[in-house]
């Protein structure tokens, strides 16, 4: 069994008086892809926000054995957790290249940063073509690619990805998942992937969790979650 990188026990979070997460347990193994599935409003985005300290939360969360549930976002980022938020969160007024530079702003290894520029431009040739263009003028797919590349520039140990397929054409979604497969093989990064497209997410993932109204309803190897009758009926179109 591989090493547990992220270990989440009894995570609770919400907004003001409204509770959204009611004690979530989940683990992400180092270098693996873990899918977090669930219907609209189940609490998937809230889970990612709670893990990177963007909202108040309670519970016991460790990253490589170190407690992070009481830490501020900046500290969690410094430990190697990168968040690709829903809506992508690129700096629209900056160029592609400036966005990537922002992603690397905590790094001191200049040679490594230069190598990563080349590496990620190779992963995403569209970004290389558009390196001097303002991010706000990129297409939705290109902005998603930029958000992923910017997060990778941090050289994270854990990537929290929120709905990378959202609002994109099927061809672009296929491209992005193909690149994510490569990222997972070539970069030593674990991915916690929130995705509405359960079918694609389960193809990429090793492990999957199903979230229902703030509670984990099902967990297991992706293949067994995919063959679960209830999951097939509700999330895979009965396929």
Contact residues for ligand ATP, defined by CB under 6 A: 15, 20, 38, 40-46, 196
Q: Cα(43)–Cα(49) distance, rounded to whole angstroms?
A: 10
Nearer to ligand ATP, 49 or 130 (CB): 49
Q: Cα(160)–Cα(215) distance, rounded to whole angstroms? A: 19
- Of residues 47, 11, 35, the one with CA closest to residue 226: 35
Bridge partners (DSSP) of residue 26 are 8
Q: Which is nearer to ligand ATP, 213 or 227 (CB)?
A: 213
Residue 18: CB partners within 8 Å, gap ≥ 6? none
Closest approach, Cβ 162 to ligand ATP, in A, equals 7
Smallest separation, CB 66 to ligand ATP (Å): 25
Q: Which is nearer to ligand ATP, 21 or 104 (CB)?
A: 21
Q: Which residue has the tokens 């990253």?
A: 63
CB of 108 to ligand ATP, least distance (A): 35
Q: How far is the CB of 229 from ligand ATP (least distance, A)?
A: 22
Q: How far is CA 232 from CA 104, 164, 187, in A?
A: 40, 21, 31
Positive or negative: CA dihedral 129, 169, 32, 107:
positive
Please state the closest distance from residue 120 (CB atom) to ligand ATP, in A: 27
Based on CB atoms, which residue is closest to ligand ATP, 51 or 222? 51
Quick one: tokens of 192?
Answer: 């916690």
| Nearer residue to ligand ATP within complex by CB, 15 or 72 | 15
């Amino acid at each position: 069994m591989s090493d547990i990188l992220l270990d989440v026990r009894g995570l609770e979070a919400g907004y003001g008086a409204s509770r959204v997460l009611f004690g979530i347990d989940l683990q992400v193994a180092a270098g693996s892809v873990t899918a977090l599935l669930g219907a609209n409003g189940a609490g998937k985005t809230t889970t990612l926000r709670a893990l990177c300290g963007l909202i108040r939360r309670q519970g016991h969360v460790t990253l490589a054995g170190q407690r992070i549930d009481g830490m501020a976002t900046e500290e969690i980022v410094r430990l190697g957790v990168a968040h690709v938020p829903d809506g992508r969160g690129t700096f629209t007024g900056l160029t592609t290249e400036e966005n990537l530079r922002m992603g690397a702003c905590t790094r001191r290894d200049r040679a490594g940063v230069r190598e990563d520029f080349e590496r990620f431009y190779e992963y995403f040739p569209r970004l290389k073509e558009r390196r001097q263009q303002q991010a706000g003028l990129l297409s939705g797919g290109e902005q998603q690619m930029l958000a992923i590349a910017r997060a990778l520039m941090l050289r994270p140990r854990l990537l929290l990805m929120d709905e990378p397929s959202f609002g994109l054409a099927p061809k672009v979604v296929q491209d992005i998942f193909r690149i994510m497969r490569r990222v997972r093989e070539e970069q030593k990064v674990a991915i916690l992937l929130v995705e509405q497209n359960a079918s694609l997410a389960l193809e990429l993932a090793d492990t999957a969790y199903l979230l229902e109204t703030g509670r984990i309803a099902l967990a297991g190897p992706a293949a067994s979650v995919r063959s679960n009758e209830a999951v097939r009926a509700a999330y895979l179109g009965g396929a």
